[in-house]
Amino acid sequence: MPCVVRCSFLLIIFCLGSMSWEARVVQVIKATGDDAIIECATDKTPQDGVYMYKKEGASEPRPIFYFYKDNTLTFKTINKSKATVSGTFPKLNVTLFHATAEDIGFYWCEFNLEEKITAGLRTWLWIEKEKEERDCPEDVLPHVKIFLILCAAMSLLCFIGFFCMILKMKGCWGNRKYIPSNPPPDSVYEEMKRSNLDAQVSVRTFINPHYQASTKLLR
């Protein structure tokens, strides 16, 4: 049961995190006691140093170490015999020795240049126990892969739906007809009609009926 709960937390975090554009990597260690190599690198230079963090389940992220650009390595929450850092800064590889179930979780690096933070690749590390020590079903990983595929498909559908909604809104705004902000009331139109009728009557009254009769006799 604890294994299922732990796996569920990791899946939820991984699925929610996949909504962003930051890349993720799933690394599986086949048996306890093997070494795990986690990438800790960035293409953005220069950088002053890098923190590696670990997050497991719903717990808060905790720093693993801090590596300064002068190759100074300071361990925070693990023993220095547990991990080592190799490579040329800022492209590093972190090796966790003799990985166990306690090492399962998310690992990522955050590079800093003064106050500016650059997050690196996220790695989900999963360690399989030996058969005699396993407390999880053997078919957990296939279900994990299916779940991750469903998460990716849902993320893609959400993106497509959001894009279509933006296009639809643009079309509605483009086809929208102009409507006066303050249309004149009906009383104004009635007054205009009344004025036109009065003007027509006034024109007719100015015509002399005797002049019209004399005009007809002359014809």
Give residue 32's pLDDT.
83
On the question of pLDDT at 48 being above 80, the answer is: yes
Give residue 107's pLDDT.
95
Residue 33 is assigned to a structural domain of this protein: yes
Give residue 91's pLDDT.
95
Range of the domain at 199: 191-218
Residue 178 is assigned to a structural domain of this protein: no
Give residue 206's pLDDT.
47
Q: pLDDT, tens digit, for every residue of 127-164? A: 876 543 444 545 455 556 676 677 677 777 877 877 78
Report the pLDDT averaged over residues 171-198: 61
CA-nearest of 89, 61, 92, 90 to 77 is 61
Give residue 180's pLDDT.
54
CATH number of the domain that 27 lies in?
Answer: 2.60.40.10
Residue 164 is assigned to a structural domain of this protein: no
On the question of pLDDT at 52 being above 90, the answer is: yes
Instruction: Output the CA–CA distances (angstroms, integers) from residue 149 to 15, 71, 154, 163, in the order listed.
Output: 10, 39, 9, 21
Domain count, the chain: 2
Alpha-carbon span 74 to 95, nearest angstrom: 15
Residue 48 is assigned to a structural domain of this protein: yes
Give residue 11's pLDDT.
52
Mean pLDDT of the chain: 75
Residue 208 is assigned to a structural domain of this protein: yes
Give residue 132's pLDDT.
39
The pLDDT confidence band at residue 19, using thresholds 50, 70 and 90, is very low
Interhelix angle 2-17/140-175, nearest 10 degrees: 30
Report the pLDDT averaged over residues 2-13: 51
First vs last Cα of the chain: how many Å apart? 117
Q: pLDDT, tens digit, for every residue of 111-124? A: 999 989 999 989 99
Q: pLDDT, tens digit, for every residue of 59-96? A: 899 999 999 999 999 999 999 899 999 999 999 999 99
Residue 120 is assigned to a structural domain of this protein: yes
Entry pTM:
0.54
Residues 117 and 195 in one domain: no
Query: Structure tokens of 85?
Result: 């850092």
Query: Structure tokens of 214?
Result: 């004399």
